[in-house]
Amino acid sequence: MIQSQGTRLLSRRQFLTALGGTAVGAAMLAACAPAAAPGAAPAAAGGEQAAPAGEKTTIRAHMVEKQDVSNWIQMGLDQDIDGFTSGNGDLEVALETIPGWTAEYVPKILSFAAAGTLGDLVWFPPRHRSHIAWGTSYGIVTDIVPLAEGAGYDLGANFFAGANAANSFEGKQYWLSFISEPIVPVIAYNKTKAVEMGIGEPSDDWTFDELAEWAQQGTTEDAFGYYPADRAYLGFSGAPYLRQHGVEQVDAEGKRATFADTQEAFVKALQFDYDLMHTWQVSPSPAAGAINAPELFGGQKVLAVDIWPFRIQIYPDTFTDFETGFVLTPVVNKGDARRSMLNEHVFGITTASTAPDAAFKFLTWIAGKEMNVQAVIQGQKGPIARADFWADDRVYETEPTYAKLRPIMEAIEPDFTVANFRGEEYDNALHAVYEAMILGEKTPEEAANEIQTACQAVLDKEPA
């Protein structure tokens, strides 16, 4: 799940400025060109230097220190899932983790690139295709299509087309999915309490109006009926909610904000969230401070919350005082087609890699079917955009709710594009206005106009 809300990708110019001085900047700029690690011979096209007999090839993979990323990959190595460890005795995998999130991770990777010490693989959590800049502008990751062809690996057969398209640009594919899921597609609800209150349970075919009516019935003196929770960061995690209302945020090229093109529908979507807080008063207000939705849900202080897919595995195991149910996010009108958007964590192979073929073998293993089926069975991470993963019955035996997500994932809609790669900056600009509305400082109409202006101002900036 993308958790950062305040960090945007540093541009190369900003990074060099931070290093200080034009002389240093010029030196670092030269160093940012694709380079091998110090002391290593450059890799030949489509291959790498063979290790001397008896020696192992070391694959260095950079990533954040996170349960569903670094921790799960290490568990997979330790468990020898799909025989990767035992079957590749000539490889040594070094997971080089960076604590924190993108605020800490991105500058660290850029510093490695500048110093010529970058390893073989890098992780990234894309936001509106911001990761493409790492291949097209930064020169940090390489096109994996030639590596796939050399290994006889069919990218199209292994991954849904939407995921491959999201990771590609102008005929080159720079990344491979590691986590790929529909953004906030379900609502978790306290099934035990709903039944006890006699208000019934939500249905997969509900409209937002029906959800609002149910939430009002479920609101009491000591508990709220519903809170948007994980979808409340409107630019990214709330994008499917806006699409469900017929609102597309930008044009196909990612250069023009298009909220005003569907102004009436956009205001209606904002009005619903405003009413949750101020008219119906079924949701907690952030006026008193940050809202910890999992804590409220686990403490039975809110009856239902929108969630990311990974919480499907976590909530029932964590909150054992009541039974948790899951229902698809509502639609605007009965029978509407269900809208979606793709969220990913991805890995790419660096231009500095001295062992790209070995790195590609590791990449396709962590993005492989068995690693990802086991991840869900063991409750370690979210799903992946592979048809064979979604066709595996073991997934549904362990997590029956995933059956609700399968048709959404098979027809997943891509993330929209922010052409200048300022995806997080775009989201933050949108969310600042949305949050002011939620606090009651702006009307939905005022917020709609200001969001259009604020987002266009970001899109008009130079590329990051």
Q: Which residues contact 70 (CB under 8 A, 6 or more apart)?
A: 63, 64, 95, 97
The average pLDDT across 152-168 equals 94
Q: Which residues contact 53 (CB under 8 A, 6 or more apart)?
A: none
Q: What percent of the chain has pLDDT over 90?
A: 84
Residue 337 DSSP label: P
Architecture field, domain 56-181+342-410: 3-Layer(aba) Sandwich (3.40)
Structure tokens at 153: 């690996």
Per DSSP, which regions of 132-219 are E strands?
168-169, 172-173, 176-182, 186-190
pLDDT tens sequence across 367-423: 999 999 999 999 899 999 999 999 999 999 999 999 999 999 988 998 999 999 999
pLDDT beyond 80 at 32: no
What is the rounded CA–CA span in Å between residue 146 and residue 143?
A: 7
pLDDT beyond 80 at 28: no
pLDDT tens sequence across 173-208: 999 999 999 999 999 999 999 999 999 999 999 999
The whole-number pLDDT of residue 53 equals: 58
pLDDT beyond 90 at 27: no
Domain 186-339+420-459 CATH class label: alpha beta
302 to 219, 294, 363, 398: CA distances (angstroms): 8, 9, 41, 26
What is the rounded CA–CA span in Å between residue 168 and residue 360?
A: 16
The whole-number pLDDT of residue 6 equals: 30
pLDDT tens sequence across 66-106: 999 999 999 999 999 999 999 999 999 999 999 999 999 99
Helices 72-79 and 369-377: crossing angle in degrees, nearest 10, is 110
Q: What confidence category does residue 49 fall into, taking pLDDT thresholds of 50, 70 and 90?
A: low
Residue whose structure tokens are 């919350």: 305
Residue whose structure tokens are 């030949």: 44
pLDDT beyond 90 at 3: no
Q: What share of the chain is helix, strand, coil (3-state, %, to 5)?
A: 45, 15, 40
The average pLDDT across 109-113 equals 96
Q: What confidence category does residue 10 fall into, taking pLDDT thresholds of 50, 70 and 90?
A: very low
Structure tokens at 332: 């605007």
Q: What confidence category does residue 212 fall into, taking pLDDT thresholds of 50, 70 and 90?
A: very high
What is the rounded CA–CA span in Å between residue 55 and residue 462?
A: 47
Residue whose structure tokens are 């933050």: 428
Q: Do residues 304 and 226 make contact, with C-beta atoms less than 8 angstroms apart?
A: yes
Residue of 386, 383, 385 lying closest to 395 (CA atoms): 383
The whole-number pLDDT of residue 15 equals: 36
Structure tokens at 28: 């670092």
Amino acid letter for position 376: V
Structure tokens at 437: 């509305």
The whole-number pLDDT of residue 33 equals: 32
Q: What percent of the chain has pLDDT over 70?
A: 88
The average pLDDT across 247-268 equals 98
Q: What confidence category does residue 464 fall into, taking pLDDT thresholds of 50, 70 and 90?
A: confident
* Identity of the highest mean pLDDT range in 43-47, 115-119, 135-139: 115-119
Q: Do residues 160 and 409 make contact, with C-beta atoms less than 8 angstroms apart?
A: yes
**b vs e for 282-316, b when ≥16 Cβ sit within 10 Å of the residue's Cβ?**
bbbbeeeeebebbebbbeebbbbbbbbbbbbbebb
Find residue 176's DSSP bridge partners. Answer: 347
The whole-number pLDDT of residue 54 equals: 67
Whether 56-181+342-410 shares its CATH topology with 186-339+420-459 is answered yes
Domains in the chain: boundaries: 56-181+342-410, 186-339+420-459
